[in-house]
Structure 1
């Protein structure tokens, strides 16, 4: 690896200082990766953590995914979360090592290209970039679709369960939410760091309120809490799978919930002191999800109806709404669901910000269709990738048309964000293990001699989680409406991506390009496979 930036990097550094976009240290490190500073650095370490913590939105995420773990009973729900979240934390540690050494908005596909063997680097980088981009799009669709269901669930609660929204109504609310998120993402750029700080407070507040209010409400209604033997020891089976496998399928809840700590990576070029802020954001967010998720689920298990099937098949359409209703009554349930809706909205806002940075970075390297158009950064709107945001919104509105068919079709599309992201996370870690032993140079955050063992555990978990995400949750012989179509949707995406690459993109996609001082070029020497002066880390 080269230890200094090229002259053009110095020029880019000076330009960025003049524009007030970043301090010299961050700009020089980015120049060593081959890029000039185009976005404004304004996110502190806490605010970078807030982006990932906000997107996880622990309580609303649990509300959205609890149907995956409830069939295993309270013990499966709690211990499934605890086990899977620890393994997911290993993934966060493995990504944090690379994020500190090479902090760039397109981190996952950039690292893949950097570490992979010469014959495979372009194809794998292309695959990871598309998987990550489509995974984030799937996440945006999923968050706003779930938010529309939560809003309509409140309408149902207010009408005592006598209201059921049509697919057309669900889609209309979904489109409205996507558009509002786009407008907020574009025009709230200057205050977005403060919005992210607020997200920490409101997420912590709903966790504390849930932990305190649910047991108090349950007792005040003259009902006793479920005993500890039930909360931590009762395993149920509301599927036709064997009980042991139903417990394993409960892992899907944390897999879906703790799914976007890579958003810290996509904010790398807006982070102050990115080599420290980004890795800390990753490990803080994934670590908090492990501990706080265990706490929240323990309280839910203590207050929920012991008839698990009644909670799963609630007339409100949301098991979490039923749990709130049982413990707090109609007004209490509406109050908590209202707060969850606000937090879910903030999740969508944070996600569109992170997703737009990935799409912008991938366009900067010429990989997405109409890249020259989408790579534009608006100086008039405070250095925001406005066109990338608009492009994502159009795609989400088109994909959301599946809402008009049924929930099975919608969920099949939205499963993109699990399988695609697991491929996007696992590939650079695996490439580093296979080819990158001599190329990796630690950044300010480093797990030391444990780095490779951690990476091995992370890869094993990601492969297992990827396979698990494709299982039908109800049983081994699902009907068409119960089938898990993740393999169909993601298989199509991966095959289409690779077909597009080998037929067309391989002729022009050569990996990340230099933009230092505004001059584009390939960051990798194709003869030697080694990075040039403007593209390496230290």
Structure 2
């Protein structure tokens, strides 16, 4: 009798899942696309994708010194909470649009659907955001190499050369490609594991943590110095929208994807606050961290607080989280290449839309790996040039956020039929707040972070972003203007 009840329950669950899949596929068909991917992503897996891309352990650890030297503990603490609040508003804006258009391509597709009469907006958003995801993955894999270099310094006193660090970054790019080639199940399981890994990875006086001000920038304005510390928080919290890239692989994506977009920021806000406070209470000497010779400055903080053995353990925990975050960025970029190719916004359409037996768009995966290996070589010649290219990724992400939010602010009627996740009367105020913060951060990201500025400490991000925009502009007039008209309905294109 018990076996019969279990069997009936299993059959009922299978029928319910089949209905959910049918609903999801129908919504995708209403947008003009046929279902190409198996829907194997649960809410926790989709949430894990965004959570993994945000990477609290990795983003905060890698950029912790930015806030520590620009405002100190007071700037870090208050900057984190202020930025988290506004990033949550941005997440709500994106989640509302995601619920309406739960399909691969995310920001790019949303812009195309909301302003179909201006295809250049969608083209620019798609290319800018896809390159931002590739660059973010490259930055993550180089950071893994720097963590390994720091471990060699802490444990063996050996300093790795730039060539050795670049070789490790190459290996990590290739490893990210291999994992992404395995397919959806591997990435979903890894993303769920990353959530628990971050939770598990996560002393001074309270007066130090909440009121101590530090300034190693050279700027005299205390207010401006604290604002510079905001960059660490924004850099850490970018990535919530990554859930949209696997929307066509999730059951009831119109509900799950927006919940993951907003929920990943809410969870990261709380977890990040706990992790940041633990770091601040562990700081022994800020000047020691500032003067460190370790490849990753936070290594000095760990070393001063707990000694060499436990410091290496801390580095291992953060490094593994960074590995998973970088893999997720290549997951997003490969899906973006697929979406762009599907709509004739990317060359070699047939190749980039080809899936292997693991349901992975492997052309997009290995294109990301190739770009990563090429750009990583810049680190051999100049760390400054490499930093400029990679810091442009953070600005590119914010500029990409800005595109759909601008449309929602100035063309509030651009969406007629909202999805289940709808902000109602709060939609326009939330979008205005998100728009204002995006503009503020994009300006802040290109300002000099040190004074007086010289060739070594100059912020070259504006040059890198400007160069990327020039390349996209040339590509639009040379090729995109003639081939890209907006989303292509695959239901009529493919039989």
Calculate the TM-score normalised by the size of structure 1.
0.86
1:11-90 equivalences in 2 (<5 Å):
23-71=21-69, 72-90=71-89
Contact 2:149 2:295 in 1 (8 A): no
Q: Contact between 2:109 and 2:122, CA under 8 Å: does it hold in 1?
A: yes
Q: Assess if the C-alpha contact under 8 Å between 1:167 and 1:403 holds in 2.
A: yes
CA distance in 1, matches of 2:414, 2:406: 14
Q: CA deviation at 1:334?
A: 0.9
Question: C-alpha displacement at 1:436, in angstroms?
Answer: 4.2
Contact 1:68 1:473 in 2 (8 A): no
TM-fit CA distance, 1:70: 0.7
Residues 279-290 of structure 1 correspond to what in structure 2 (within 5 A)?
Answer: 279-290=258-269
1:134-153 matches, cutoff 5 A: 134-153=131-150
- Three-state SS of the structure 1 residue aligned to 2:223 is helix
Residue 21 to residue 483, structure 1, CA distance change in 2 (3 Å) = farther
The number of equivalent residue pairs is 477
CA distance in 1, matches of 2:392, 2:29: 33
CA separation in 2, counterparts of 1:450 and 1:312? 44
Contact 1:21–1:37 (8 Å) recurs in 2: no
Aligned with 1:415: secondary structure? helix
What's the offset of the Cα at 1:22? 8.0
Contact 1:36 1:518 in 2 (8 A): no
> Which residue in the other structure is 1:130 paired with?
127
1:516 aligns with one of 488, 491, 494: 491
Greater fraction helix: 2
Residue 460 in structure 1 maps to residue 436 in structure 2: yes
The correspondence for 1:189, drawn from 179, 184, 189, is 184
Secondary structure at the residue paired with 1:469? Answer: helix
> Cα distance, 1:188 vs. partner?
4.9
Q: Which of 350, 363, 385 is equivalent to 2:328?
A: 350
Unaligned ranges ≥5, structure 1: 1-16, 208-224, 521-538
In structure 1, distance between residues paired with 2:161 and 2:186: 37
Whole-angstrom CA distance in 1 between matches of 2:144 and 2:89: 30
Cα distance change of structure 1 residues 88 and 390 upon mapping to structure 2, 3 Å threshold: same
Cα RMSD (Å): 1.8
Partner residue of 1:536? none
Q: Deviations over 1:284-332 (max 9, x none)?
A: 1111121221222122111202x32211221223222112112211111
CA distance in 2, matches of 1:194, 1:412: 33
User: Does 2:293 correspond to 1:318?
Assistant: no
> 2:370 — aligned with what?
394
CA distance in 2, matches of 1:389, 1:369: 15
Conservation of the 8 A alpha-carbon contact between 1:312 and 1:319: yes
CA distance in 1, matches of 2:329, 2:368: 11
Match of 1:170 among 152, 155, 165: 165
Structure 2 equivalent of residue 250 of structure 1: 229
Pairwise CA distance, 1:21: 12
- Provide, for residues 400-450 of structure 1, a one-character-per-residue CA deviation record: whole Å limited to 9, x for no partner: 111111221111111232111111111111112222415332211112211
What do residues 97-144 of structure 1 show as CA deviations (whole Å, max 9, x unaligned)? 0001111111211211222272xx211111000110010011011100
What CA distance in whole angstroms lies between the structure 2 residues aligned with 1:353 and 1:504?
A: 26
Tell me the alpha carbon deviations over residues 483-510 of structure 1, each in whole angstroms, 9 at most, x when there is no partner: 1111111111112212221233211210
Distance in 2 separating the partners of 1:290 and 1:388: 31
TM-score norm. by structure 2 comes to 0.93
Q: What is the aligned counterpart of 1:338 among 316, 333, 337? A: 316
Matches of 1:501 and 1:349, distance apart in 2: 29
Could you tell me whether the CA contact under 8 Å between 2:33 and 2:490 is conserved in 1? yes
Which residue number corresponds to residue 201 of structure 1? 196
Q: Return the match for 1:377 from 355, 371, 376.
A: 355
Distance, in Å, in 2 between the alignment partners of 1:438 and 1:157 is 55
Task: Report matched runs for 1:443-522 at 5 Å.
Answer: 443-475=419-451, 477-516=452-491, 518-519=493-494
Alpha-carbon separation, structure 1, partners of 2:190 and 2:19: 20
Distance 1:331 1:36 in 2: 53
Farther-moved stretch of structure 1 (328-337 vs 436-445)? 436-445
